[in-house]
Structure 1
Amino acid sequence: MNDIETLLWETDATGLAERVNGGDVAPLELVDAAIARAEATGHDINAIAEKLYDSAREQAKAVDRALPFAGVPFAIKDLAIAIEGVPMHSGSTAPPLVPDFSSVMVDRYRAAGLIPIATSTSPEYGLRLVTESKRFGITRNPWNRNHVTGGSSGGAAALVAAGVVPAAHASDGGGSIRVPAACCGLVGLKTSRGRIPLTPLSSESWYGFVVDHVVTRSVRDSARLLDLTHGPDLLAPYQAREPSEPFAQAAARDPGKLTIGVYRKSPLGLEISSDTMIALEKAVSLARDGGHSVEEIDLPMIDRAFMADFARAVASATAGFVRAESIRNGRSIGPELERATRVLARFGEVFSAGELYAALERLAAASRDLIARTAKYDAVLMPVIAHPPLKVGAMNPTGADEFLENTLDRLRLTRLLRIDQFLGQLMDKSLWFTHWPAIQNVTGQPSISMPVHVTDAGLPIGIQAAGRPGDETTLLSFAAQMEKLSGWLDRRAPLRRPEAIPAAA
């Protein structure tokens, strides 16, 4: 088992599949090793919502070893994706949904040969950019257990970074793929709007802001998995344009000479740590080493007003979701929600449909402006996180922030958030760790978080490259080159290296 566990810990999904396809390793051996490692690291990282061990072993025994990812252990996020018969908690203490169907993406993962061994933790309804909840507690970073994994796909990132699985399903509505990837030293591609269907559980989520894909160790895994899972579904309302070439082919070729923009400012006007700026400079240096032209740019249409409109849209979507869940349960679920979720949902109820429409129109106009102004660039580099991965609990409100949240909740004074000062205070507290990722959720552009830097304290910091709408191929080709230049593929979190685990574990 130790030899297989070491292989699992060291190897990306593509490499593991090659070993299975070649007959060197049996699917059940990989699955058993992943389950053993999940149990060994479970207390350390707390990243599993539901264990699927029995079904995983049964699938491993029956999987076709010729499939592209035959027998490769995998995890599926406990949020907005359905696995038939598996409770979906969405990180909440409210009653879970137990679907009697599976999402299209789950079927596609299984058709590729992937074996889901667990569902991964998320914060309640994916609303926080750290994975801490009343339902599951704190999910911890395998690089340092005292620090966060980011969110909302923090459980997925923790399982991959800890070497439990080589890749895991994730979703991104305001950075929820890219932030955990940036915190955990992984590759995280936020795909173009419409690239991957969310059906039949939903047609779109958060007005199209939410997309699904994976967090991975390698660029080639992200590309190959996108080749196997993207494309239209009869129930999907729209789709991204067809890629100019297979994504895996793009990741395997030289990108040529690209024109790269660099955006260094905070759209919120908040502090950016020196560690983050060092990471950004490292990404810029790698891009120059790759022979690319690099230009400093500004994004004047992205400001506090833009972010406030994004917050209004998310609040209204949260309010609608809470209404739907209350109807499903035949009673209000408000008392079971975390305070911050309840406040956000109430905020979503205090402005009119006309005001929401106007906010969405402003966001759309800013998106058109941004896409037009940056069309000359093959990619735009910018931070993902403003600080190295935070200490656990650092995003919990304290002092004046806690007083405001408590007041809004207990006295039902959510209408105060119609006042820019109060909304700004709440927004700054929610987003001070990560200022940038929501931009691409609004515009629909693809963006990839690349693990270019590890701080002197041993904490990863990823930097993202945003691309033109529908152009994941350029991003994947560029990211694969950055991977080779930086050597990040060989980095691993220090948590429970296999050689340090006794054979009986």
Structure 2
Amino acid sequence: MSVEHTLWAQDATGLADLIRKGEVSPIELTEAAIARAEATRSDINATAEPLFDAARARAKTVDRSLPLAGIPFAIKDLGIAMKGVLTHGGSRIPAWRADVNSVLTDRYLAAGLIPIVTSTSPEHGLRLMTESKAFGITRNPWNTGHTSGGSSGGAAALVAAGVVPVAHASDGGGSIRVPAACTGLVGLKTSRGRIPLTPLVSESWYGMVVDHALTRSVRDCALLLDLTHGPDLLTPYAAPSPKGSFVAAAARDPGKLRLAVYRKSPLGLPVSAETLVALDAAVALAREGGHTVADIDLPFVGRDFFADFATGVASAVAGTMRAEALRVGRSVLGDIERATRIIARFGELVSAGEIYAGLQRLHATSRQLIAETAQYDAVLMPIIAHPPLACGAMDPKGADELIENLLDKLHLTALLKLKPLLGQLMDKSLGFTHWPAIQNVSGQPSIALPVHVTDAGLPLGIQAAGRPGDEETLLSLAAQMEKISGWLGRRAPLRVPS
């Protein structure tokens, strides 16, 4: 078997074991990953910055006693720093070169991981499809006419294409779970405060953004969490400490769990039959594992909740554009995409009082959600309302494009304070992904599970949301479902090694 095939077929835990046994070397794996990154680049367009020379140098000297020594890796081109590496944030704003590592980057390197590229993101992570004016369209290895999701779509495409077995990702409104659902991967949105974002920021989007990874296997997800979680001196708050290791949690039988399933769209928008088939598949796997599953409703999570979420994000984007203008010494409104510009201008129009009141409403709903679902070990619900969309499907067309142009060119952003118009644009933005932002607001952990592949050959995952701080139960349940389903053996058909 070739080294490329070994890289393509194994998860990170398996590859690390082969390295420890001397059956493959870090430099051999790194060279195979670089070659595969280059071979698939025109297919998936998932690389922002190649790091090949630095990767080769690190692979030659990595301490083979480290838990993930020599494992090829990708770091997202957004919200994380790697010293000396350009970060674009998926934008045409002039890139910045970090002079320090993020705490999370240091933890990745201390584990022995070998970053070979940074992965593509939509501009500032604002779309749940990875398409940008700066980098173009990132494509799904299962079918390159379709999206790999976003905003961690580059990370997902690289893992699904067998370039790397694990990749850094972040999630502010579904940006780990949506790409996982689109590409047949495991994606854990961690509890708020589980992994530090320091020293770049103390928190992002009012605490709604978290970092972790996209992986092929549940055990990789758990291992990477063991190696990266926990506060540092600059962390403003921390998630509750786990009872044991996350790897141990993933390895043990979950026992008999009490689960719930939430089937409705909180936005009241259409949900495809395929999404409901995927949700039923997850329920069937859970029941096969010996768990009870009860249908529930969450009527207090509705359109007003998402309007407050969207308004809060807009204010955060406005603040980010101010910071970027200070960094480059001029306005950046001409550099950014039309949709980003509209969001930023809207964020400038919303008063501090309105933002504070909206956040308080979100927190109140979160408390109610956590209290009313505390009786369940996890709640199953969709991630995406439809199978992975065709590339370009979320681009505004016709009347939608006309409205965007008018809002932008005539500076009519104030019209978004009218509830019907904000609702219309919100439906366009979130029409593909109705559910994931719920856990970003509540701070709960939620894991994407690759339970289904459509008749057209496209993955369609669902999520299990847990109690705050309880990733261990989610990992135990996910590992059991992985074993029952056999999903770990699925691979995208793109450039299968001989």
Within 2, Cα distance between the matches of 1:419 and 1:259?
Answer: 42
Within 1, Cα distance between the matches of 2:412 and 2:452?
Answer: 43
Residue 68, structure 1, aligned to residue 50, structure 2: no
Q: Which residue of 1 aligns with 2:408?
A: 409
Residue 139, structure 1, aligned to residue 138, structure 2: yes
Q: Cα distance, 1:358 vs. partner?
A: 0.1
Q: Which residue of 2 aligns with 1:502?
A: none
Within 1, Cα distance between the matches of 2:119 and 2:377?
Answer: 34
Q: TM-score, normalised by structure 2?
A: 1.00
Q: Which residue of 1 aligns with 2:243?
A: 244
Q: Cα distance, 1:207 vs. partner?
A: 0.2
Q: Which residue of 1 aligns with 2:338?
A: 339
Within 1, Cα distance between the matches of 2:260 and 2:401?
Answer: 39
Residue 44, structure 1, aligned to residue 46, structure 2: no
Q: Counterpart amino acid of 1:129?
A: L
SS at 1:215 equivalent: strand
Within 1, Cα distance between the matches of 2:183 and 2:486?
Answer: 16
Q: Which residue of 2 aligns with 1:426?
A: 425
Within 1, Cα distance between the matches of 2:347 and 2:300?
Answer: 24
Q: Which residue of 2 aligns with 1:213?
A: 212
Within 2, Cα distance between the matches of 1:212 and 1:94?
Answer: 23
Q: Cα distance, 1:111 vs. partner?
A: 0.3
Within 1, Cα distance between the matches of 2:398 and 2:280?
Answer: 35
Q: Cα distance, 1:14 vs. partner?
A: 0.2
Q: Cα distance, 1:125 vs. partner?
A: 0.1
Q: Cα distance, 1:423 vs. partner?
A: 0.2
Q: Which residue of 2 aligns with 1:159?
A: 158
Within 1, Cα distance between the matches of 2:120 and 2:147?
Answer: 13
Q: Cα distance, 1:47 vs. partner?
A: 0.1
Q: Cα distance, 1:404 vs. partner?
A: 1.2
Q: Cα distance, 1:127 vs. partner?
A: 0.2
SS at 1:335 equivalent: coil
**1:383-436 Cα shifts (integer Å, max 9, x gaps):** 000000000000000112111111110011111010000000000000000000
Give the 5 Å matches for 1:1-400.
Answer: 3-400=2-399
Q: TM-score, normalised by structure 1?
A: 0.98
Q: Cα distance, 1:22 vs. partner?
A: 1.3
Within 1, Cα distance between the matches of 2:406 and 2:367?
Answer: 38
SS at 1:361 equivalent: helix
**1:94-113 Cα shifts (integer Å, max 9, x gaps):** 10111110100110001000
Within 1, Cα distance between the matches of 2:231 and 2:450?
Answer: 30
Within 1, Cα distance between the matches of 2:294 and 2:401?
Answer: 41
SS at 1:171 equivalent: strand
**1:33-65 Cα shifts (integer Å, max 9, x gaps):** 000000110100000000000000000000011
Q: Cα distance, 1:8 vs. partner?
A: 0.2
**1:418-467 Cα shifts (integer Å, max 9, x gaps):** 00000000000000000000000000000000000000000000000000
SS at 1:213 equivalent: strand
SS at 2:460 equivalent: strand
SS at 1:195 equivalent: coil
Within 1, Cα distance between the matches of 2:111 and 2:328?
Answer: 35
Within 2, Cα distance between the matches of 1:21 and 1:233?
Answer: 30
Within 2, Cα distance between the matches of 1:488 and 1:311?
Answer: 34
Residue 494, structure 1, aligned to residue 475, structure 2: no
Query: Once structures 1 and 2 are overlaid, which stretch shifts more, 18-27 or 375-384?
Result: 18-27
Q: Cα distance, 1:24 vs. partner?
A: 1.2
Q: Counterpart amino acid of 2:95?
A: P
Q: Counterpart amino acid of 2:419?
A: D
Q: Cα distance, 1:143 vs. partner?
A: 0.0
Q: Counterpart amino acid of 1:447?
A: S
Within 2, Cα distance between the matches of 1:86 and 1:400?
Answer: 41
Q: Cα distance, 1:489 vs. partner?
A: 0.1
- The CA RMSD over aligned residues, in Å, is 0.5
Q: Which residue of 2 aligns with 1:480?
A: 479
Q: Cα distance, 1:351 vs. partner?
A: 1.3
Q: Counterpart amino acid of 1:151?
A: G
Within 2, Cα distance between the matches of 1:491 and 1:130?
Answer: 23
Q: Counterpart amino acid of 2:194?
A: R
**1:362-394 Cα shifts (integer Å, max 9, x gaps):** 000000000000000000000000000000000
Within 1, Cα distance between the matches of 2:394 and 2:481?
Answer: 31
Q: Counterpart amino acid of 1:327?
A: L
Q: Cα distance, 1:300 vs. partner?
A: 1.4
Within 1, Cα distance between the matches of 2:376 and 2:454?
Answer: 29
SS at 1:188 equivalent: strand
Within 2, Cα distance between the matches of 1:417 and 1:377?
Answer: 38
After superposing on structure 2, the runs of 4+ consecutive aligned residues of structure 1 that deviate more than 6 Å are none
Within 2, Cα distance between the matches of 1:444 and 1:401?
Answer: 33
Within 2, Cα distance between the matches of 1:429 and 1:397?
Answer: 8
Q: Which residue of 1 aligns with 2:463?
A: 464
SS at 1:202 equivalent: coil
Within 2, Cα distance between the matches of 1:4 and 1:99?
Answer: 33
Within 2, Cα distance between the matches of 1:398 and 1:388?
Answer: 21
Q: Cα distance, 1:245 vs. partner?
A: 1.4
Within 2, Cα distance between the matches of 1:236 and 1:49?
Answer: 28
Q: Counterpart amino acid of 1:368?
A: R
Q: Counterpart amino acid of 1:493?
A: A
Q: Counterpart amino acid of 1:141?
A: N
Within 2, Cα distance between the matches of 1:393 and 1:297?
Answer: 35
Identical counterparts, % of pairs: 71
Q: Cα distance, 1:159 vs. partner?
A: 0.1
Q: Cα distance, 1:93 vs. partner?
A: 0.5
Q: Cα distance, 1:301 vs. partner?
A: 1.4
Which ranges of structure 1 fall in alignment gaps of 5 or more residues? Answer: 500-505
